[in-house]
Amino acid sequence: MKHILTLLISFTLGFASLDEINSFEADFTQSVTDENNKVLSYSGSIMAAKPQNVMWDYEKPIKKNVYINTENVTIVEPEIEQVIIKEIESNFNFFNMIKNAKKTKENTFVATYKESVFTITTKNSLIKSISYIDEFENRVVIVFDKQKQNESIDSKVFIPKIPSDFDIIKD
């Protein structure tokens, strides 16, 4: 799970880096479809900046913030007053992987990381969507809207905000 989450978040920023993008902001809608065609939908916003700073702000169906940097993924879940901190695997090199993404047709690219295949679509030089099959065989599609790139983002956005009374689980 953590390598998929890391890749997905980095993908949003890293793929566009081929066109000299240093930051990326957008609203997103994420759909996860299981083998029975049951769909779970999530929505929120994302902010990302090089080298690997990302903050996913999930608003629906529940509030959750996911912070990623070069060392950790930190998931803050206010509804259950819990924080999960996971180490990012040390051999992960997103930029080397993304350089090998292949254009399959106009505005569509495919990249592989470990056993996962990611399909990226673009529109007007912006990432429009990312889709893949996760480690549980769910079909995942993330669609971005209101994208901004290369705008200044305060680095404090990427520092996890952990209330002192939340339980912290280190994985």
Higher pLDDT, 121 or 33: 33
Strands (E), 18-163: 23-33, 39-49, 53-60, 64-68, 72-77, 82-87, 102-105, 108-113, 116-123, 126-133, 139-149
| pLDDT at 12 (0 to 100) | 46
| pLDDT at 91 (0 to 100) | 52
Domain boundaries, the chain: 2-170
| pLDDT at 167 (0 to 100) | 96
Percent of the chain topping pLDDT 70: 81
Average pLDDT estimate for 105-130: 85
| pLDDT at 19 (0 to 100) | 47
| pLDDT at 126 (0 to 100) | 84
Higher pLDDT, 11 or 155: 155
Question: What is the CATH superfamily name and number for domain 2-170?
Answer: Lipoprotein localisation LolA/LolB/LppX (2.50.20.10)
| pLDDT at 41 (0 to 100) | 97
